[in-house]
Each structure stands twice: as C-alpha cells, then as structure tokens.
Amino acid sequence: MISVFRKIKLLNSLLLLFIIANSIIAQSYSESLVDSIVNKALKEFDIPGIAVAIIKDNKIIHSKGYGVRSLSTKLPVDENTLFGIASNSKAFTSATLGILVDKGKLNWDDKVIDFIPEFRLYDPYVTNDFTIRDLLTHRSGMGLGAGDLMFFPDSTNFTLKELIHNLRYLKQTSPFRSKFDYDNLLYMVAGEIVKRVSGLSWESFVEEKIMEPLGMNNSAASFRRLKDQANVIDGHAPVEGKVKVVNRHMDIEGENPAGGIYSSIADLSNWVLMHLNNGKFGIDLQNQLLSEKVHNEIWSPQTILPLNRKVDKYNSHFRSYGLGWFLIDVNGYKEVAHTGSLEGMVTQVTMYPELNLGIIVLTNQQAGGAMIAITNTIKDIYFGMELTDWINIYKEKSEKGNEGSKKITDEIWAEINKNNAAKTPVELNKFIGRYKDDWFGEVEISEKKNKLFFNSMRSPKLNGEMFFYKGNTFVVKWTIRSFDADSFVKFNLDFERNPESIEMKAISPFTDFSYDFHDLDLRRIKD
C-alpha cells in the first residue's frame, strides 16, 4: 500500500507535470505566427479583411484586425470593426430562450402551438408535438434550407406572419426527429416565441438582456439597429472571376434570430468568456446570464450528425447539434462551434471548455476555407500538435469545388450556345404567363425582344434572362451575378402540350442551399 507521504509526493509530481505541459502549450502561442497565418489566408483566398480573437484562461490574448473593411474605402479592419455574424446569431437565440427557461417562463419541451396557436407544419402530428427544443435542433423533417427563398436573397417582402403561415406548405423529406437538416425558418419562429413570452421583440431582448450586460456596446441585433455604422465591413464575393463589393444583405421582418446580428471580435470575446465560464461573467464572475443547468443543456447533444472519419486528424468519434451550437469530440476535447454565412461574409466561433480556449474568426468575403484554416491552425497550436498547412488544404479543396462547378456549368452553357448558334426554333409564347407556388407566391415569365425573362413577385432581385436548353427546359441567368445560383427551369406540359407547371433546380451542386428552388411547385395561373 502506498503511504500518505508518497501519495502526496506523487500528486505534487503529477501537478508539476500538468503545469509544465500546459505552460508549453501556452508558450507555443505566438502573435507573429498567427499574423503570418492570417496574412497568408488573406492572400491565398483573396479576402479583403479578417478579424481574429483568441481567448485563453479568461484573458483575451489576441484581438486584431487584418486587411481592409471594404475594397471601396480601403479603411483598415480593427478589433472593433463590425461584421454580420450570420448564423452565429442562432446561439444568441438559444440563449434568449435559456434566459426565459431560467425565469420559469417556459420549458424546452413546451409545445410551440401553446405560444403560437397559428403555427402549423405539413404533418398535423408534427405540428401538435413540436416543441421549443425542436425549433433549435434542425430535426423537423423539412429538407435542407426549406423555405429560405422567403428571406434569401434579401429583397423579399414576406412578413413574419406570412412566413409562419407558409410553413404548412413545406413538405417533409424525412420522418420527424429522425435526421439533421439545417433550417433557418424555425429559428425565426423561436424569435417570435421570445416576443410573445417576454413582451419584447427578439431584437430588444438580445440587446437589453445579453449584449448590454456583457458590455457588447458596439453590437446590435441587426445592421439597421447599429447606433454607429462608421466601422462596418462591406461584403465581398467573386463575381465572374474577380472579388468585388456585393450588396449588403438587409434583414427582412423576423429574420434576425436566424442570422441578423452585427458584432466585432472585441464584443464577441465577452460573449465567449461568458460561455467558457458556464454562464457567468463580470468581475470575479459575480454575474450570471445563464444558470449552469441551462447552459449545460444548450451545450448537450440533441441531434446526431454523421461524421466523416476518413479526413479526421483529430480522432473524432461523435458529432452532434446542441441548442444553437455544433458539438464534436476533437483530440479528446469537447469542441463547441458554429459558423455563419451571408452574402459576402462568413464567420466562425469555436470553443474548447476543457482548455478554457475560444477562437473567433470573422471575414468579409464568402470564402469559407480561410476561417476554417485559421481556426484549425490556432487549435493545433493549443493541442500541441504538429502544424498542418490548412490554408493549402482548403485552398485546394475550394479550387477543386470551383473546377467541378465550372465543368458542370460550362457544359450547360456550351449546349445553350450551340442552340443559339444553330438558331434552334423555340415557341416562346406558350411559356409566357404567371405561375404560383403555395409558399413562395407568384413568378412571371414574360417575353422581351424575343427573349424570355423570369421575375419573382415576392423577391424582386430574383430576376433574369432565360435561355433555351433542351426540350421544355430553360436556364435562368440571374441579373445579379454574385448570386452564383443559375437554375434550370423545367416546364411540365398538359395533354395539349401547354405548360401547366414549373420545376426548378440549381445547375451547380455547390450552390448555396438557401437557394431552395427545388422546393418550389409553381402552378400556372389560368387567365
């Protein structure tokens, strides 16, 4: 039997080894190394501006901007530069509901229809059993991004009331609670729950109950609500081969709980510090935003996700979604993370609670590989792992994806150009008319100068010229080229060979899933 003295000596030795090991990891952080990685990412991914923060052991040890806010102004990015954090807003929505759970105003498994009686989904059983937890976990049975065209791109004029009503028309593609399919609309419904329970709009609740206590003084629940817009990025995207400033995504009614927040690395660092301290914040952690019980629930697996072990450096075994956060085991640690994407900007927030480590990367160009490469490099530093050239890996992956997409689209346009050269006769008049989808509303197919044009009545930016492809199928080339979402338009004919409906599908499989043309069922309106 080991003596008490030997036990104490052994424990002291182990503690000393632990301290030494952690000091080696901590000392491996280097500002110049992070600078070099970010500057390389700026160049390789053609990104105008990036902001990076590292939070370690309750201290912000790195908070820095790189590059410029906009190619138009050339003003520099700094730690207070505001970015649209897009779907990183979802974690704020789960936190708003968590605050209401702590106050006893609701429970995670309360039924949605008890708060929003008019709430309906396609299946009556799903409607009646749908809980607040279900709103946050992407397991409704609706398809990936179903209904996103009601807010994306941002020129749509749907009200939140209409959006909630139209959910009933979105057919399920999988059984309820059986499969992860990312959605945005149900987070908007979650925001409405906050309003009906608290009496405050989701935007006011977030700003008053989360941002103000945490000292996120420059942030706001949407771009329109920013008190000072002097230090805000412009979004950028490759437009026909060249990175350009793109139109800012302006929130529509109800959208913000899914992706509306604007914030900076300085402000988001306070948000991360609160999470790394299990809901506590402030001097000596005297204040509590979320109880430990609620915080644990938010960070607990709710929906199982598939895991690709073939490309896993980190020996991961499980992947899941919590309440507004992705959860995965990475190199023996729990990773809590989320990304966000809007037109011209992508963001990532990542935390390792056991290491008391947080990483924030905000970018103003929609090349997602850059933020992942930067995050992975920083976490490798703190894991004490040999550094991988993540920038090169994700650049090659991006180039391969772009080449694959280009090959597909080039073949389509080669066929279209061949038809144009051959002057293939097409009876355009029979396709002209109005077509209506139950949830998306009307689109108009018109003719101008012997060309067909597509125009959405509820999403005015979604318009473009149509080109004959094959049979009764055309391709619509969107006027706004940064959409990068040209689509097939297939006319289905009746027995008299007259068009009676339209089906649509994005040409490239790499098209953003929020362009959910495939969910449309456009039926011709009889005159």
Residues in the chain: 527
Question: Which residue range is the domain that position 516 belongs to?
Answer: 402-524
347 and 488 both lie in a single domain: no
Residue 155 domain-assigned?
no
Same domain, 376 and 422: no
In this structure, is residue 146 part of a structural domain? no
In a domain, 48, yes or no: yes
| 394 lies in some domain | no
Residue 335 inside a domain? The answer is yes
Distance CA 67, CA 313 (A): 30
3-state helix, strand, coil in the chain (%, to 5): 40, 25, 35
Alpha-carbon 318 to chain mean position: 21
Cα dihedral 269, 270, 273, 279, rounded to 10, equals: -140
Q: Do 274 and 414 belong to one domain? A: no
Do 344 and 493 lie in one domain? The reply is no
445 and 361 in a common domain? no
218 & 116 share domain = yes
Distances, alpha carbon 288 to alpha carbons 1, 21, 102, 362, in Å:
45, 32, 11, 27
Quick check: is 159 in a domain? no
Residues 434, 374 share a domain = no
Residues of the chain with pLDDT under 70: 1-27, 309-311
Domain end, chosen from 388, 415, 438, is at 388
Which tokens in the block code for residue 215? 């000292």
- Please indicate, yes or no, whether residues 203 and 260 belong to a single structural domain of this protein: yes
Q: Are 366 and 495 part of one and the same domain?
A: no
The reply to whether 379 and 448 lie within a common domain is: no
Within a domain: 53:
yes
> Quick one: pLDDT at residue 309?
67
Domain assignment of residue 157, yes or no: no
117-120's contacts with Cβ under 8 Å and 24+ in sequence apart are 118/164, 118/165, 119/164, 119/167, 119/189, 120/165, 120/167, 120/168
Are residues 372 and 411 both part of a single domain? no
The H or E element that residue 359 is part of is strand 357-363
Total domains in the fold of the chain: 2
Beta bridge partners of 244: 237
Identify the pLDDT of residue 18.
Answer: 37
Looking at residue 423, its pLDDT comes to 86
Q: Are residues 416 and 365 in the same domain?
A: no
Here the CATH number for the domain that contains residue 453 is: 2.40.128.600
Q: Which of 388, 417, 444 is the last residue of a domain?
A: 388
- Pick the last residue of a domain from 344, 361, 388: 388
pLDDT value at position 16? 36
Q: Residue 353 belongs to a domain with what CATH number?
A: 3.40.710.10
Q: What are 338's strand-pairing partners?
A: 349
